[in-house]
Structure 1
């Protein structure tokens, strides 16, 4: 048994060394090829994700064994570790504008944000509040390390193919919010939009049903469109800073199921109003940084538009 474990450990060590060598080679080639830079940051992101998921598993176990509600901080601790790792390996990060500390001072709450791509995992790493849980599709439950971490840290899994199970999960989330003062972060678009401009998909109502059922405020979180820095379709992954703005909490006290549609529309409209200006701000920062380092800026900064914000469909759970 010891020999087997030793062999496995040696194989993993050799794999990691070779993986890191490949990443470094791609980073060196990035000076002459933007495509190499894209490949380097994608590979580095996988290193960060897997290593932080492993860290999250052990952190969750340790926090659960320590007793009390300390396990509720497992996702926050892992998120911050991912933020640090990603910023060091890829040079990309998110800057949070929250002067009134709505993230830290509003508990419990249902936080909702726009969902653009897989890079939103890093976004959560930069702004994820304490005593908060994410929701995730149930297919992630059994993923090695990542799925284990999610289960240990209290992630709420939703079966996208089964609306009844999703509603059951929401009832469980409402119970957790009320009994443990545990907030929840959700993406009401239900899926990644892969938007190239300041747009959002139509919102699903699950997050807002949850907020009304629990009687807690909805806190909108707006992330600037970052397709000028990250776009898998265009093989683009550049270093830079992406702005996030946390909006004023919207109370749900006294609301009923009949008010959910209006609440959903109100939150979406508030987020859309901020998304355009925030995207202009983010792209202007990227352009200023590019022109400072080079006489010919490599980043195009088109003016964002919200004209197409209501186009497209979402494949998320309809609640």
Structure 2
């Protein structure tokens, strides 16, 4: 055990030294290669995730003993990632209008968000309300610290291969939402888009079936395209502020009275409204960039 612990310390020491070296070279070289900044900030992001997941494992276990894990487990870790990530990654999400009030004052709801890159973990840190869980693919359960934390915190793991197991998981989530007034966060695209333009992948229907089954509203969240901050394909990772807005359709989208037959229309309608907001944010961002160029 001691030998394993020593190797872990060696790895963390080497990892941290490599990260700091990349940061230093990127900061002080006259014309540093872009890849240095990408490596440094990516390593910092993953280290931040590991630290917060380790903290989350301890916090969730403690909160579970106290019977408070459904209320605070994900929220406390999300806030830790938010505040730590501001300094270790250098990225902030700017929540527009009354978005925080909508997220914090409606419960239970199904919160859906567009899924761009791994940096969406940072997005969750900024929007996460209390009394909220998440759905995730089953394979994440086996990842050290992260999987342990998510299991203890009450995440709903979905087996994408076994449809019957996925349906059972959603049934359990719907019951928890009704009984514990527990909200759930889902990325309906199902995977990261890595897009450099404002766009959405086709939506999977699980989030909408869950909302209808539980009889709870849907709160869409749209983050502007942030490829100017993180572009994995171009190996670019900068610091910056990403605007975030809540999309409201007659406030949170109601689902009471809807049935499975309404899910297709609900999915299409919600995606279209989110895409309209995403494209509007893109146009506004482009206009602001042009204004800044003219002023300079």
Q: Tell me if TM exceeds 0.5.
A: yes
Which residue in the other structure is 2:81 paired with? 82
1:150 aligns with 2:156: no
Which residue in the other structure is 1:47 paired with? 47
CA distance 1:287–1:202, change in 2 (3 Å): same
1:276 aligns with 2:295: no
Task: Give TM-score, length-normalised by structure 1.
Answer: 0.85
Q: Per-residue CA shift, 1:183-229, capped at 9, x if unaligned? A: 00111111111111000011111111111111100101001111111
Task: Give TM-score, length-normalised by structure 2.
Answer: 0.91
Give, in angstroms, the shift of residue 44 of structure 1.
0.6
1:127 aligns with 2:127: yes
Figure out how many residues of one structure are paired with residues of the other and give that number: 288
Give, in angstroms, the shift of residue 262 of structure 1.
1.1
Which residue in the other structure is 2:8 paired with? 12
CA distance 1:171–1:125, change in 2 (3 Å): same
CA contact under 8 A between 1:242 and 1:282: conserved in structure 2? no
Q: Per-residue CA shift, 1:155-207, capped at 9, x if unaligned? A: 00001111221111110110000010000011111111111100001111111
Q: CA RMSD in A?
A: 2.1
CA distance 1:218–1:234, change in 2 (3 Å): same
* Structure 2 stretches lacking a partner, 5+ long: none
1:1-319 matches, cutoff 5 A:
4-5=1-2, 7-31=3-27, 32-67=32-67, 69-99=68-98, 101-248=101-248, 249-282=252-285
SS state of the match for residue 234, structure 1?
coil
Distance 2:71 2:246 in 1: 22
CA distance 1:129–1:287, change in 2 (3 Å): farther
CA distance 1:286–1:131, change in 2 (3 Å): farther
CA distance 1:59–1:290, change in 2 (3 Å): farther
CA distance 1:126–1:283, change in 2 (3 Å): farther
CA distance 1:130–1:148, change in 2 (3 Å): same
SS state of the match for residue 142, structure 2?
coil
Distance 1:198 1:18 in 2: 38
Q: Per-residue CA shift, 1:36-76, capped at 9, x if unaligned? A: 11110011111101111000000001111123x44431111
Give, in angstroms, the shift of residue 266 of structure 1.
1.3
